Structure 1
Amino acid sequence: MPGDDRILRDHLLELLRGGSAHIDFKSAMKDFPPELYGKKPEGTPYSAWQLLEHLRIALHDILDFCVNPKYTAMEWPEDFWPKDAAPPSNEAWRSSVRAIEADIAEFERLTGDPHSNLYAKIPWGDGQTLLREILLAADHNSYHLGQLVMLKKQLEA
C-alpha cells in the first residue's frame, strides 16, 4: 500500500532500541562498576563517565533539534564533552542513565507515531528530516555504547 511506512518505522525502532547487531543501552549499562566510572586505561582519551555524558548531551541535543522550534545549536566540541573524568557522584551517573533512557523513549515515541512525518524537512534546520535525525541518534548511540562496552572490558581485565 503506497505511503505505508510501518515496516520502516519498525526497523527504526529496532535500531533505536538496540539488539540485532548492536548492544542495547540497558545491557551496556548493566552492572557497570562505580569504581570504573572515572577511570581511563592508558592511551584512552575518555573515561566511561565522559562517554556516558557525551552520549546524553548529544542525544538530547539531537532530540531538541527535532522538536524545539526555538532550538539553539550548542558549541562543538566544548558543549558536548564533560571535562571531568569522573562523575561528581554515583547519583550523577544514575541521573545521566535515566536521562538517556527518557530521550531514547521519546525518540521511540516520535518514530512509532504515524503522525510524525519522517520525510518532511525540519523547518528550523537546513534540510534535515526526522528520519535523518533518528538514524543519526541510533548511529551515535551505537558507536559510543560500543566504546563503553570495550572500555569496561579493558578496565576489568
Structure 2
Amino acid sequence: MKTDQEKKLVSELIVLIEKGNAHVTFDEAIAELPANQRTVVPENLPYSIWQLVEHLRISQKDIVDFSASDRFEALVWPDDYWPKKVADHVSDETWETSLEQIRDDRNRFFDLLRDDKNDIFKAFQWGDGQSLLREALLIADHNSYHTAEIVVVRRLLKSWR
C-alpha cells in the first residue's frame, strides 16, 4: 500500500507528464495542426512534426515497455528511435493511430505508477539502477523537450496561435 506521500508524488508525476505545469501540453502542441504541415521540415531544422511525434511515440513506448517488464526488446540508439524515412504525407488514420498509441502508453505508465504493488523508488531487477520514479522523470523531461520543438516548428510554419 502506498503512503499518502507516495500517492501525492505519483499524482504530481502524472500531472508533470500529462500537463507539465510550466508549458503547453503535447495535446495542445499538436491541436489543430493542418494535415499538410505534418511532414514539412523547416529550413535549418532537422525534423518535421511527424518525425518528432513518431520519435515521442517510439521512445515513450520503449520506456514504458522497459518499466513494465524485464522481457522487453531493447532498441538500438539512435536508429530505432526515429522514423525510418521522411514521409511526404501522413494520412489522418496514421496520424491518429500514432497519437492514440502515445496516449495509451502514457496511460499504461500511469497504471504502473498507481499500482500499489510497485515501489516507485525501488530499482528494477533488470537494467542498471532505473526505477519507476526515474522513468517517470525521463518521460516528463523527454516529452516536454520534444513538445517544445513541435511548438517551434509550428511557429516557423506560422501555424501556432
Question: Structure 1 length normalisation: TM-score?
Answer: 0.91
| Aligned partners of 1:13 and 1:112 also within 8 Å | no
- Residues 49-93 of structure 1: CA distance to partner in whole angstroms, max 9, x if unpaired? 110000000000000000122122111111011133325423111
SS across alignment from 2:85: coil
Give percent identity, aligned residues only: 40
> Distance in 1 between the 2:61 and 2:90 partners?
20
**Which consecutive residues of structure 2, in runs of 5 or more, have no partner in the other structure?**
none
- Which of 107, 110, 123 aligns to 2:109? It is 107
> Distance in 2 between the 1:34 and 1:70 partners?
37
Question: Structure 2 length normalisation: TM-score?
Answer: 0.89
Alignment partner, residue 55 of structure 1: 56
The one-letter code sitting in structure 1 at the alignment partner of 2:152 is: M
The one-letter code sitting in structure 2 at the alignment partner of 1:24 is: T
Alignment partner, residue 69 of structure 1: 70
Alignment partner, residue 152 of structure 1: 154
> Distance in 1 between the 2:32 and 2:50 partners?
14
Alignment partner, residue 134 of structure 2: 132
**Which consecutive residues of structure 1, in runs of 5 or more, have no partner in the other structure?**
none
Evaluate the alpha carbon distance shift between residue 88 and residue 24 of structure 1 in structure 2; reply closer, same or farther with a 3 A threshold.
closer
Moved over 6 A (4+): none
> Distance in 1 between the 2:135 and 2:124 partners?
10
Q: How many residues were matched structurally?
A: 156
**RMSD over aligned Cα atoms:** 1.7
